[in-house]
Amino acid sequence: MLRLITGIRGASGFGSASTAEEVTDGVDATALTVIITGGASGIGLETTRVLALRKAHVIIAARNMEAANEAKQCILNENRTSRIDILKLDLSSLKSVKAFADNFLALNLPLNILINNAGIMFCPFQLSEDGIEMQFATNHLGHFYLTNLLLDKMKETAKSTGIEGRIVNLSSVAHLVCPREGIRFHNINDKNSYQDKVAYGQSKLANILHANELSRRLQEEGANITVNSVHPGLIMTNLMRHSAFLMRLLRVFTCLLWKNVPQGAATTCYVAIHPSLNGVTGKYFSDCNEYKPSKLARDEVLARNLWDFSNNLINASQKIIDK
């Protein structure tokens, strides 16, 4: 807490006051192709801008194509040499996730970095088109499916280029506010017991568990890809539109704990491209430094159960789509 308030730098040399530009200063990302989900707004947009500034080729994966085009143009107005493309992606729809992956793979581009950034927060209860609670569907399952669909391309790129691939899952300190058992496997869609903040925390816990389990599997396989999760910090963005009044009220009493957008994107950018993290995998970062997440987030059995549960949900949904 003291580090967050004071901005004292940690072992990495960076801290809560560090910005995305600062933590990537001097890093040449010319050889890197990056996909950023939700890269058209909030900290996703700042992540896109800074990685493009460092000369990476960035693909914005966005649900709102108009906003994505505006974001692209805004970045190009600042830096005409930026390499940015946009592709449509609605993470709440497994059909859309599959279409995005197919469209990207058809471009025959390499893929070095996948940043699973997009998300929704504290929304009223609703089911996705696949019949899955919306926060879990969007924040976790869509990213889980997308990552699986792009993983072979990442392995191929890492092998052919010799450049380490990196996957970054945006989680949150909110993973602490989750069901007692961690993930409600048996009543994930129960409307009667639904609590928006607990459901959000559950989805953020799932982001860490997914990163940890994927990291374990890739290490066993010997793949040259790291997987880590990050907490960006408290930032007022459109993500909080379902609870804007509550968040503004909270901010009055916790003003010292909040970050601006450039600070909020710093940890993502640091974990995505900083050379000091070569070979570092299965970790959780906050304020550009490694932290220990909750006990549930470190539960290997829970992570494996979530992996199987997620695959079963996807397989069940695909059978319905194929009918």
Catalytic residues: 194
- Based on the number of CB atoms within 10 Å of its own CB, is 299 exposed (0-12), middle (13-18) or buried (19 or more)? middle
Q: State residue 22 phi and psi, 5-degree precision.
A: -65, -45
User: b/e for 147-167, b at 16 or more Cβ within 10 A?
Assistant: bebbbebbbebbeeeeebbbb
Using an 8 Å Cβ cutoff, are 80 and 301 in contact? no
User: Of the candidates 181, 180, 106, 182, which has an alpha carbon nearest to the alpha carbon of residue 150?
Assistant: 106
**Diameter of the chain measured on Cα atoms:** 57
As a whole number of angstroms, the distance between CA 254 and CA 246 comes to 12
How is residue 75 written in tokens?
Answer: 């970045």
State how beta strands 284-286 and 289-291 pair: antiparallel
Residue type, 256: L
Strand order across the 33-37 sheet: 83-88, 57-62, 33-37, 113-116, 165-170, 225-231, 284-286, 289-291
Return contacts of 279-282, CB within 8 angstroms, 24+ apart: 279/164, 279/226, 280/226, 280/228, 281/215, 281/218, 281/219, 281/226, 281/227, 281/228, 282/211, 282/212, 282/215, 282/216, 282/219, 282/227, 282/228
How is residue 144 written in tokens?
Answer: 């889980």
